[in-house]
Chains A and B, each alone.
Chain A
Amino acid sequence: MTESQTYSFFLGCVMPNRFPNLEASIRLVLPKLGIELEDLKGASCCPAPGVIRSFSEPTWLALASRNLALAEMAGHDLLTGCNGCYGTFKETLTEIREHPERLKEVQKVFKGTGLKFKGKVEAKHLIEVINDLDVEDIKKLLTKSLEGIKVGVHYGCHLLKPSKNRPWEQTQRHTFLDELVELTGATSTKYKDKYLCCGAGGGVRGSQVAVSVDIAKEKLDNLIEAGVDCILNVCSFCHLQYEVSQAQLNKELGEKKYQIPVIYFTQLLGLAMGLDPSELGLDIHMIDTQPLLDKILG
């Protein structure tokens, strides 16, 4: 087994405060992979890269730096399970490293708080850490084949872009998440506009709900067309968007047309590890996951 590694687990807002079931699945599954999590005590909102950053970039930079500083002081790299938070931390680190005067600006704002920050810490998305593990080590832990399950993989935007500031292969058609999903025996199903945005970011979900839901609907229609059993994501905000938007669309339509279970990566991996669905928080989804569970567990 790969040597165990410890990270400061950054929760953000949406995961602990709206979808704690995702948090539960991460806390359950990651240690089994040798990834230990330490709470990042006293962390705040990341803050959101398209929302708070749009209002006051210096505030965004300072609060993001504070969260990074907490991890740096704890002596671990920061780990997040949200694409938006990931974007905030990656962009913050680049900004302060390329422009030392911005780091000084942040340090000045920290005065008297006891926060020390040099910008040496790294921020990682949990899927990045999982992707760096030995595939054989992951496979050894999988006891339940998900063969026959058709998964619609949704990467999200800030996980991949801006590509110059991301660790992935330089391509517009990524496959790393599809490959991780297929380790479980499930099939990653091709569907139209797979790399399209969920529509939640940039403050659009918050202020222009109709536009935001319509963007989500476009992808949901493509997923229905492709006949997937679930949509898989690695971002608490994308997760929120697909759960909430389906419920909203059904209400508007007056019929339950949108019923695609929305599954976070560690929930799917947990199922393939033979873990109990309720321990993975799969019994408290807004869109019923039972049809998917019936297909897997028979």
Chain B
Amino acid sequence: MTDKISRETIRNEAIDPDFVDSIVDAGADRLRTCIQCGTCSSVCPSGRRTAFRTRELMRKALLGLKDEVLSSPDLWLCATCLTCLERCPRQIKVTDAIIIMRNMAVEEGHMLPEHRKSSKKLLETGHAVPINAANLEKRKNLGLKEIPPTTHSSKKALADVQKIMKRTGFKKLITEDKEEN
């Protein structure tokens, strides 16, 4: 049969049958019970204005399209508002599933440059959003401790935080040269 309709074919090689198991094992209960009703997509604030479709992401995860899911920038459009998780008629932890897949994506080297930058700040200062000169001034004028009583004012605390991040493998994860082009 020859027609001009373009059909999207998912090849067997693209399917990793263990993918969904690993997501469920990491805590996304009931993922397999998804009935593709689309409630998640319908309540998604990011989906209202982008091509991001939560339902599609869940379907691809169920199909085992691991590489496609993990390399897609769409995975990073979820604002983690948790509305889909609240409304899912099957009580699937949709947001948890997304976070689990994001962890896998980062593990495979898919990390957005801005996220790597904030992670480096966390590694260096103990804060993803560290203090700056303008805010030191604001604090002083407000009568607050100029340097906040956080890791910013304790070398021992910062050293502990850095030690923890080394032990959990965060330092290696972030500083290794896996930057995407």
A→B interface (CB under 8 Å): 11, 13-14, 16-18, 20-21, 23-24, 27, 39-45, 47-59, 62-63, 66, 109-110, 112-113, 115, 157-158, 161-163, 172, 196-197, 199-204, 206-208, 211-212, 214-215, 218, 281, 284
Query: Of the 9-residue stretches B1-9, B10-18, B61-69, B122-130, which lies at the interface with chain A?
Result: B122-130
- Sample of 13 further A-B pairs with CB below 8 A, known A24-B142, A48-B128: A20-B144, A43-B150, A44-B127, A56-B103, A57-B103, A59-B170, A66-B160, A110-B164, A157-B81, A207-B76, A207-B114, A284-B138, A284-B141
**Cβ distance B142 to chain A, nearest Cβ, rounded Å:** 4
B148 at the interface (CB under 8 A from A): yes
Q: Note all chain B residues with C-beta closer than 8 A to A113.
A: 160, 163-164
Residue contact A199 to B99, C-beta cutoff 8 Å? no
**Cβ distance B130 to chain A, nearest Cβ, rounded Å:** 6
CA distance A215 to B45 in the complex (A): 7
Q: Note all chain B residues with C-beta closer than 8 A to A112.
A: 163
- Given A109-B168, A211-B50, A284-B138, the answer on whether A52 and B82 have CB atoms closer than 8 Å is no
Residue contact A212 to B173, C-beta cutoff 8 Å? no
B118 at the interface (CB under 8 A from A): yes
Which residues of B82-110 are within 8 A (CB) of A?
A: 82-83, 85-86, 95, 99-100, 102-103, 106
Residue contact A56 to B127, C-beta cutoff 8 Å? no
Residue contact A52 to B151, C-beta cutoff 8 Å? no
Q: Note all chain B residues with C-beta closer than 8 A to A59.
A: 164-165, 168-170
Residue contact A204 to B46, C-beta cutoff 8 Å? yes
Q: Note all chain A residues with C-beta closer than 8 A to B161.
A: 44, 63, 66
**Cβ distance A264 to chain B, nearest Cβ, rounded Å:** 13
CA distance A266 to B70 in the complex (A): 42
Residue contact A45 to B154, C-beta cutoff 8 Å? no
B132 at the interface (CB under 8 A from A): yes
- Given A43-B150, A45-B122, A113-B160, the answer on whether A197 and B115 have CB atoms closer than 8 Å is no
- Contact of B129 (CB < 8 Å), options: A17, A49, A115, A211: A17
Q: Note all chain A residues with C-beta closer than 8 A to B139.
A: 16, 20
- Contact of B130 (CB < 8 Å), options: A17, A23, A218: A17
Which residues of B128-180 are within 8 A (CB) of A?
A: 128-132, 135, 138-139, 141-144, 148-151, 153-154, 156-158, 160-161, 163-165, 167-170, 173-174
Q: Note all chain A residues with C-beta closer than 8 A to B35.
A: none
Residue contact B79 to A200, C-beta cutoff 8 Å? yes
CA distance A45 to B102 in the complex (A): 20
Q: Note all chain A residues with C-beta closer than 8 A to B83.
A: 157, 161, 197
B78 at the interface (CB under 8 A from A): yes
B42 at the interface (CB under 8 A from A): no
CA distance A14 to B151 in the complex (A): 14
B37 at the interface (CB under 8 A from A): no
Residue contact A211 to B77, C-beta cutoff 8 Å? yes
- Contact of B86 (CB < 8 Å), options: A115, A162, A281: A162
Of the candidates A47, A218, A281, the one having the most CB atoms from chain B within 10 angstroms of its own CB is A47
From B146, which residue of chain A is reached at the shortest CB distance?
Answer: A20
B41 at the interface (CB under 8 A from A): no
Q: Note all chain A residues with C-beta closer than 8 A to B46.
A: 204, 211, 215
Q: Note all chain A residues with C-beta closer than 8 A to B111.
A: 55
B71 at the interface (CB under 8 A from A): no
- Contact of B150 (CB < 8 Å), options: A11, A54, A196, A206: A11
Residue contact B138 to A20, C-beta cutoff 8 Å? yes
Residue contact B86 to A163, C-beta cutoff 8 Å? yes
**Cβ distance B43 to chain A, nearest Cβ, rounded Å:** 10
- Given A16-B139, A17-B131, A109-B164, the answer on whether A41 and B122 have CB atoms closer than 8 Å is no
**Cβ distance B84 to chain A, nearest Cβ, rounded Å:** 10
